[in-house]
Chains A and B, each alone.
Chain A
């Protein structure tokens, strides 16, 4: 690698430096826009005691669900889990900890983490179990909770296209948490469907500027659909 060239050619290199006990931020919503191959690489490495920050935890046998198979995850920070039986079992057995976080708060925690904002106030969760033990402040007569930012040792991100400098664009609703995770990793790894030459992407259309990105790798993706819903053709 030289200059701004972020491209790596093996998944082993893409996740080099990942160690037991680290915090990993993962993009994706359900199975949409998840870094499938980077997750598989974490499984292959058998890294353990991980804290994973991701809206969901995949399903049995796919997405982040595969990291549960060998009990690699110590804690999940998510807004909605339980689409997989293994998750439920490990949670009930006390092998897995879960910190449920409202979806908007989770997104904002990552955004704030990436933007150097240590905490913020939000009305979300006031008077609910989420607010217990958190500082409450009144602004303009309304109560707000203090929520702290999240950063990760690694961020794993799925993009559509990237150039060699790590400028990324996402495709449709596969964007979701990906650009937020990308800003908040000490090491941000982006896997994409296509790496293009520098200058091919329109600078005004970049979702994640390369300054946030440390490594880029091109992969192939299954893109499994969680809830296939169709109408009959007109």
Chain B
């Protein structure tokens, strides 16, 4: 069975470590915050200028001056800090964020990522995505393995305009956990009940399948 959005978030959360500063993109990445293991301290960075993003406010505590990068009203946790956009991107571009999780349209065997622009459709902009992929060392891309019409999103060459070049090393799809190295996807784990054949069929770029590919384990 393909993973649900929640299961994808849960699998990404297994990569968190105590003391990590983490930037979560919009969509599935945002859900990762719901699966931070108990007792683990993780600080969420929001690129509009907040380190230590907390939960949504109540009707009583809502504050128009307190939003996240998705423009949602939020709160700050104890120990949070707030700063300018330049400071925020100094953290991102300076490589100070321990883990970045973001979505994509396509990823290829050379670690290229396309996530912001579909030609002939309205282009809204890249926001902070280009800075995040260029600045971070540890990035996890979350996306479905193939489009609704069955076309692979794991390619030999991205077909869409890039967000970043050669910067992606880890991909979690609804079918598999993969790493990118030496011009290939390496299948590290598969979703429970998903066959290697199905993953091979839905991966257009070169796929290396080790002798043993364990199923993901969820607590």
Contact = CB atoms under 8 A, between A and B. Distances in A.
Contacts of B74: 229
A32 B65 contact: yes
B82 to A, nearest CB: 6
A229 B125 CA distance: 23
Nearest to A207: B84
Contacts of B48: 29-30, 32, 173, 176
B131 A105 contact: yes
A107 interface: yes
A44 B59 CA distance: 35
A32 B67 contact: yes
Contact of A127 (B70, B93, B165): B165
Interface residues of A, number: 57
Given A30-B71, A100-B123, A223-B65, 18 more contacts: A29-B49, A29-B67, A33-B65, A79-B125, A79-B127, A79-B128, A80-B126, A81-B124, A104-B92, A124-B130, A126-B134, A127-B112, A172-B82, A180-B84, A227-B73, A229-B72, A230-B57, A230-B62
Contact of B134 (A29, A55, A123): A123
Interface of B: 46-50, 55-60, 62-74, 76, 82-86, 88-89, 92-93, 112, 117, 122-131, 134-135, 161-166
25 contacts: A29-B48, A29-B85, A31-B71, A32-B65, A102-B129, A103-B85, A103-B89, A104-B131, A107-B85, A122-B134, A124-B135, A127-B162, A127-B164, A128-B165, A129-B117, A129-B161, A160-B65, A172-B63, A172-B66, A172-B76, A173-B82, A223-B65, A229-B73, A230-B73, A233-B59
Contacts of A225: 62, 64, 67, 73
B124 A82 contact: yes
A51 interface: no
Nearest to B165: A127
Interface string A75-96: 0001111100000100110000
A36 B66 CA distance: 17
Contact of A122 (B58, B69, B93): B93
A30 B123 CA distance: 17
Given A29-B48, A88-B122, A173-B65, A125 B89 contact: no
Contacts of A31: 64, 71
Given A32-B67, A102-B126, A225-B73, A125 B84 contact: no
Nearest to B124: A82
A79 B85 CA distance: 12
Interface string A114-137: 000000001111111110000000
B58 A175 contact: no
A205 to B, nearest CB: 12
A125 B49 CA distance: 21
Given A104-B128, A125-B134, A230-B62, A175 B82 contact: yes
Contacts of B72: 227, 229
A79 to B, nearest CB: 5
Contact of B84 (A79, A176, A233): A176
A228 to B, nearest CB: 6
Contacts of B126: 79-80, 100, 102-103, 130
B58 A102 contact: no
B57 A107 contact: no
A148 B76 CA distance: 34
A228 B73 contact: yes
Nearest to B66: A172
Nearest to B53: A173
A32 B71 contact: yes
A100 B86 CA distance: 17
Contacts of A111: 86
A229 to B, nearest CB: 4
Contacts of B134: 122-126
A176 B125 contact: no
Contacts of B82: 172-173, 175
A226 interface: yes
Contacts of B71: 29-32, 226-227
B191 to A, nearest CB: 30
